[in-house]
Structure 1
Amino acid sequence: MKSIKYLRPALIVTAIFFIQNAFAQKADFIAGINQQNRWVDSVYKKMSRKERIGQLFYIRAHTNKGKKYEDSVAAVIRDEHVGGLVFFQGGPVRHANLINVYQKQTKVPLLIAMDGEWGLGMRLDSSVSYPYQMTLGAIQDNNLIYKMGQMVAYDFKRLGMHINFAPDMDVNNNPNNPVINYRSFGDNKYNVAQKGIAYFKGMQDAGIIVFAKHFPGHGDTNVDSHFALPQLPFTRARLDSLEEYPFREAIAAGVSGVMIAHLNIPALDTTKNLPSTLSRKIVTGILKDSLGFKGIVASDAMEMQGVVKNFPNGEADVRAFLAGNDLIELSVNSQNGAKLILKAIRKNKIPKAEFEAKIKKLLAAKYWVGLSNYKPATPANLIPDINRPAAAELIQQLADASVTVLKGTAPVLRQNPLKKTAIISIGVDRPSVFEMELSKWYANSMIFLVGKSTSLTDLNRMLQTLKGFDQLYVSIHDSRTRPGSKLDFSSDVKYLVAALAAKPNVVTSVFANPYTIAGLPGLEKSAGIIVGYQKDDAMQRSAVKVITGLMKPTGKLPVSVNMFFPTGAGVSF
């Protein structure tokens, strides 16, 4: 027993040291990758041309596709000398173990990347999901967002990862955007820039390479570039003043990377059907030369139809390379793409100095994250570590800071705790956290559940029952994994929302994408309206805190919903 007693303080000290080290501020990335480096020069000198070209490619990796798939990835790492991996679905322990295995397949350590806009939970099971960026857009204290960046970076490093393809710095000024939407901080370019900088600085200061995306701006599109090529038909002046603004600010703030979108933009390059990813005028002429970006430029996924539909069989890869991209993400056929790039180099389609600078920049990024002294990740205690209490506490703080009151005063929201109260959740099939928490404050209350497609007969029966209640609390829930701009409720259920809002003494809370409010005519008649932005338990607890007076609301609407609720709307009391 004594030996255990003495061992515990040592373990605590070790854990504290690891966390402090993870959050310690790193040296400036841009300066670091653009200065001469002995390790970089030494590694570069020992590489063949094929190995150097391989450093451009970052290929897909999963831990939910079985051993055969995992072995095929290992073979590509060995044969093509790729620069890094982009991990997708799976589990954190499996990821950490497989990353360790893959790192043994190569002479030059791999940079490991993932899309983690809201943390590991965006891709992995058993992991923390922080709020979506649109939820963060409502927060007035950007220090909380910086702190979230630090926490996300800690989680990435804990698994042995080095790159987060985040934040999304698109200005989402199209409510029907099918691919950005809630992934954006909102439709105000200044807010998007400030929030994006706070988030990426938190991650970058903690030692993670980040990529602001999707340059020059994917926010005002109604086409998903995964399936087709969207077009931005705007003038150069509009693009300069709106879409590019957050990226200019991010560059000035020292962002380490920028990801290029697959967009056709005639005002910037008149070549028909040419995605911005493949345009030297855009990648090199605007981003690198005009805006002076000296970090790493990454393509968006090169397997997306927005880019390969018109440029198949490796043509997209070589064009992206010649356009100025430093990192080619998720090529359909990296082996074929590498051959075409080698041919382009031999034909002097790119200056030798430019090619060398690209590869050395990527190697310098590896040095910056510590891969010159590579150490494998430790899978032991990984799940409890990334799901630590501090993460849950921060998620609740972020929810508290984002919850927004669009209508009502403190007395209107609180109503009378002694009166007969109906607490109604719509879009759920079991009592919600909102209902369970709120019912503790209203002793004379009854809970009602309404599904997405509850029959008109049942809805009318409920409306009759509600006549016997003095006051109503209505909560609207989007149970889908990704919160769309329109709720998938039946027309009868949407009618119910309007009918309830028209009653006196009704407070409505919306735990869904804020754009959904526009598709619920009559909701604005509610005596009180609260926006919780997403379905998460933390958001529901925050709304209850505001209703019961435990917390003052500070959130502001990050997008314009309709004439009643414009960007910046939000009541404070």
Structure 2
Amino acid sequence: MVPTDASEMDLATKVGQLFVVGFDGTELTADLRTLITERQCGNVVYFSRNVETPTQVATLTDRLRRLVLEEGPGVPPFVMADQEGGVVSRLGWGTELPSQMCIGASGDPTLARTAGEAVAGELAALGINFNLAPVLDVNNNPRNPVIGVRSFGEDPERVGELGVELALGMQSRGVIACGKHFPGHGDTSADSHHELPVVDHDRERLADVEFAPFRRAIDAGLDAIMTTHVSFPAITETPSTPATVSAAVQRRVLRDELGFDGLLVTDGMEMRAIADGVGTPEGCVRALEAGCDLLLVCHTPETQADAIDAVIDAVESGRLDEATIDTAVDRILRYKRRRVSDSRSPSAPPWADAADRSAETARAIAARGITLARDRDDTLPFTTDRPLRLVGSSGGPASPAEDDEFEPSLLAESLATVGFDVTCHEFDDPLEGPSFDDDAQVIAAVDDATADESQAAAVGALDDRTSRFAAVLVRNPYDLSTVPDVSTAVVTYDYTPATRTVLGEMLVGETTPTGQLPVTVPGFAD
């Protein structure tokens, strides 16, 4: 049973309810057991390092729940994950949805609602009751290194509309949806995993653009919001104050002005924008003072223990009013009674059924979202009667938030399933010989041409030399700015299994791409 309110708990148990901890490995670790049984930690977040198979995750969650209920605080835990879709998908066994920007390219609110229902069904079947999604950031900075395709696009109205539908789809299946990253991480050129970004817009601009999707989601009944470790000098006390630890952001803007009374969750408190500034333990105290409810400390057992001690010390010393803790705990308990009183959502389907629906929805998103940005010479579709040369290179994650790296061989396998005879080449291979003669069919799989000049150079050379050539931007539409004159370009927004499959069907003419770019690409005109 979930307690009625914080008055039924001692201080250690209350503080434990405020923390969400991560751990290493695919089983309960000794460090995690200690945090739960001795420090009363009440919530856990999964990363890809905790995930092997659906059965393993379901078993892990069941064991975690029993430990919390029988030897820990006795209150059902929030079990969280970042299952955004695309490049941020912790459950990566083939059913992950395409990126939010692919949904944005479809422009279809009904599809966004279906996506929310599908991902929540899969999470609930595994006992995960709290999804750290949707991303409500308005990505209007082409050089943003951490959001990009995780956003629905650059239009605040579209981001708000699609974000609301995705969130309500999740919540309709009993999973908490968490919009992020308030007040907005979309117009930054730095990654808060590495440093403190600054958004230097005035208050009016922030209200019109950055706040707008969050305002719409709050009005629609969003359960939770994640804060961002970004400075907003127009709001915060000083230019060096991250929004997460700013009462002006959390209390005055989010609670008072926008009227949000749901759960307020910090981004990871070990990210360097916090850790290298105020420090993680002090940052946790200041985040609570600012108005946050849940503190994510995701990686290091020693730091997790230090942060818990710092909060308890702040209460016992009188620095942090225990009433502040009680308010946060009461809000947490309210949502636990609403969403996690049972080990699984009562409406959760068996995992296999949920996975089938996710896979079907993923294909629908890819089919509606993949964008033919240009086909000046009617190069597409290709024919399977001639060999296909695939030029590309493996690429690592652009940010620590991401899970996978691009592998051209996976794209080659998908293209082979629709009948292509595919040969793979590296970008730095010499562009000589019969493989790249005028009759060849060639695809360049562009992963991050903005950072890798060799990709743009290869696209230009191949486009000039080969009459049947297409650049396939497997992730970032802003890469179009590096090849503004390319004759044929397809944007997929991610390289999930469903996207790769649908791309193959499009390249042979079985499916017609209908997506529209949801962002403006500097220097590129269709």
TM superposition score category, shorter chain reference: 0.7 to 0.9
Letter in 1 for 2:485: G
Quote the residue 1:368 is aligned against: 338
Quote the residue 2:399 is aligned against: none
Note closer, same or farther for the CA distance 1:495–1:308 as it changes in structure 2 (3 Å cut): closer
Is the CA contact 2:437–2:465 (under 8 Å) kept in the aligned structure 1?
no
Quote the residue 1:424 is aligned against: 389
Letter in 2 for 1:453: D
Quote the residue 1:512 is aligned against: 474
Is the CA contact 2:237–2:246 (under 8 Å) kept in the aligned structure 1?
no
Quote the residue 1:399 is aligned against: 366
**Residue 208 (structure 1) aligned to one of 175, 179, 184:** 175
For residues 362-383 of structure 1, the C-alpha deviation after alignment (integer angstroms, 9 at most, x for no partner) is 0111111142x44699xx985x
Between 1:75-84 and 1:541-550, the stretch displaced more is: 541-550
Q: Where do residues 496-507 of structure 1 align in structure 2 (5 Å cutoff)?
A: 496-502=458-464, 505-507=467-469
In 1, Cα distance between equivalents of 2:288 and 2:77: 20
In 1, Cα distance between equivalents of 2:223 and 2:481: 37
Letter in 2 for 1:517: L
Is the CA contact 1:138–1:404 (under 8 Å) kept in the aligned structure 2?
yes
Is the CA contact 2:232–2:239 (under 8 Å) kept in the aligned structure 1?
no
**Residue 437 (structure 2) aligned to one of 466, 473, 486:** 466
In 2, Cα distance between equivalents of 1:335 and 1:325: 19
1:476 is displaced (CA, Å) by 2.4
Note closer, same or farther for the CA distance 1:117–1:485 as it changes in structure 2 (3 Å cut): farther
Between 1:550-559 and 1:352-361, the stretch displaced more is: 352-361
1:299 is displaced (CA, Å) by 0.8
TM-score by length of 1: 0.79
Letter in 2 for 1:298: V
For residues 351-371 of structure 1, the C-alpha deviation after alignment (integer angstroms, 9 at most, x for no partner) is 655432221110111111142
Quote the residue 2:10 is aligned against: 48
Letter in 1 for 2:518: P
Between 1:397-406 and 1:428-437, the stretch displaced more is: 428-437
Note closer, same or farther for the CA distance 1:494–1:370 as it changes in structure 2 (3 Å cut): closer
In 1, Cα distance between equivalents of 2:495 and 2:410: 13
Quote the residue 1:295 is aligned against: 262
Note closer, same or farther for the CA distance 1:460–1:213 as it changes in structure 2 (3 Å cut): same
TM-score by length of 2: 0.85
1:95 is displaced (CA, Å) by 2.7
Secondary structure of the residue aligned to 1:61 is coil
Is the CA contact 1:40–1:360 (under 8 Å) kept in the aligned structure 2?
no
Note closer, same or farther for the CA distance 1:243–1:338 as it changes in structure 2 (3 Å cut): same
Quote the residue 2:512 is aligned against: 552
Quote the residue 2:493 is aligned against: 533
1:163 is displaced (CA, Å) by 0.6
Letter in 2 for 1:190: E
Quote the residue 1:340 is aligned against: 310
Any gaps of 5 or more consecutive residues in structure 2?
393-407
Note closer, same or farther for the CA distance 1:305–1:518 as it changes in structure 2 (3 Å cut): same
Letter in 1 for 2:330: K
Q: Where do residues 42-441 of structure 1 align in structure 2 (5 Å cutoff)?
A: 44-64=6-26, 70-88=29-47, 89=49, 90-91=51-52, 92-105=54-67, 106=72, 107-118=74-85, 122-126=89-93, 128-312=95-279, 314-330=281-297, 333-346=303-316, 349=319, 353-371=323-341, 373-374=342-343, 384=352, 388-408=355-375, 413-414=380-381, 421=386, 423-427=388-392, 428=408, 432-433=412-413, 435-436=415-416, 439=419
**Residue 450 (structure 1) aligned to one of 425, 436, 440:** 425
Secondary structure of the residue aligned to 2:85 is coil
1:169 is displaced (CA, Å) by 1.1
1:216 is displaced (CA, Å) by 0.5
Between 1:225-234 and 1:336-345, the stretch displaced more is: 336-345
Is the CA contact 1:475–1:511 (under 8 Å) kept in the aligned structure 2?
no
**Residue 477 (structure 1) aligned to one of 428, 445, 448:** 445
Is the CA contact 1:433–1:537 (under 8 Å) kept in the aligned structure 2?
no
1:60 is displaced (CA, Å) by 0.9
For residues 380-401 of structure 1, the C-alpha deviation after alignment (integer angstroms, 9 at most, x for no partner) is 985x455x43332222111110
Secondary structure of the residue aligned to 2:138 is coil
Letter in 1 for 2:427: K
Quote the residue 2:485 is aligned against: 522
1:342 is displaced (CA, Å) by 3.5
Q: Which has the higher contact order (CA 8 A, sep 6+)?
A: 2
Is the CA contact 1:500–1:506 (under 8 Å) kept in the aligned structure 2?
no
In 2, Cα distance between equivalents of 1:280 and 1:537: 42
Q: How many residues end up aligned between the 2 structures? A: 497
Structural RMSD (CA): 3.1
Note closer, same or farther for the CA distance 1:39–1:421 as it changes in structure 2 (3 Å cut): closer
Note closer, same or farther for the CA distance 1:198–1:301 as it changes in structure 2 (3 Å cut): same
Letter in 1 for 2:478: Y
Is the CA contact 2:84–2:134 (under 8 Å) kept in the aligned structure 1?
yes
In 2, Cα distance between equivalents of 1:142 and 1:409: 30
In 1, Cα distance between equivalents of 2:261 and 2:158: 24
Secondary structure of the residue aligned to 2:462 is helix
Is the CA contact 2:391–2:445 (under 8 Å) kept in the aligned structure 1?
yes
Letter in 2 for 1:562: P
Tell me the percent identity: 28
In 2, Cα distance between equivalents of 1:131 and 1:515: 18
1:268 is displaced (CA, Å) by 0.7
Note closer, same or farther for the CA distance 1:473–1:396 as it changes in structure 2 (3 Å cut): farther
Is the CA contact 1:426–1:449 (under 8 Å) kept in the aligned structure 2?
yes
Quote the residue 1:486 is aligned against: 450
Is the CA contact 2:86–2:496 (under 8 Å) kept in the aligned structure 1?
no
Give the number of the structure whose alpha-carbon radius of gyration is greater. Answer: 1
1:494 is displaced (CA, Å) by 3.9
Note closer, same or farther for the CA distance 1:180–1:414 as it changes in structure 2 (3 Å cut): closer
For residues 336-362 of structure 1, the C-alpha deviation after alignment (integer angstroms, 9 at most, x for no partner) is 333433444456555655432221110
Secondary structure of the residue aligned to 1:113 is strand
Secondary structure of the residue aligned to 1:212 is strand
Between 1:257-266 and 1:84-93, the stretch displaced more is: 84-93
For residues 59-92 of structure 1, the C-alpha deviation after alignment (integer angstroms, 9 at most, x for no partner) is 113434x66xx12101111111122111122223
Any gaps of 5 or more consecutive residues in structure 1?
1-37, 441-445
For residues 76-111 of structure 1, the C-alpha deviation after alignment (integer angstroms, 9 at most, x for no partner) is 111111221111222233332222222223211211
Between 1:313-322 and 1:91-100, the stretch displaced more is: 91-100
1:302 is displaced (CA, Å) by 0.8
1:207 is displaced (CA, Å) by 0.8
For residues 221-274 of structure 1, the C-alpha deviation after alignment (integer angstroms, 9 at most, x for no partner) is 122111211111221222121111111111111111110000122111132522
In 2, Cα distance between equivalents of 1:356 and 1:84: 17
For residues 437-474 of structure 1, the C-alpha deviation after alignment (integer angstroms, 9 at most, x for no partner) is 5656xxxxx755321321x2xx12247x623x2xx543
Between 1:280-289 and 1:119-128, the stretch displaced more is: 119-128
Note closer, same or farther for the CA distance 1:102–1:431 as it changes in structure 2 (3 Å cut): closer
Is the CA contact 2:148–2:186 (under 8 Å) kept in the aligned structure 1?
yes
Letter in 1 for 2:62: N
1:429 is displaced (CA, Å) by 5.4
1:485 is displaced (CA, Å) by 6.0
1:422 is displaced (CA, Å) by 5.7
In 2, Cα distance between equivalents of 1:539 and 1:122: 14
In 2, Cα distance between equivalents of 1:544 and 1:95: 31
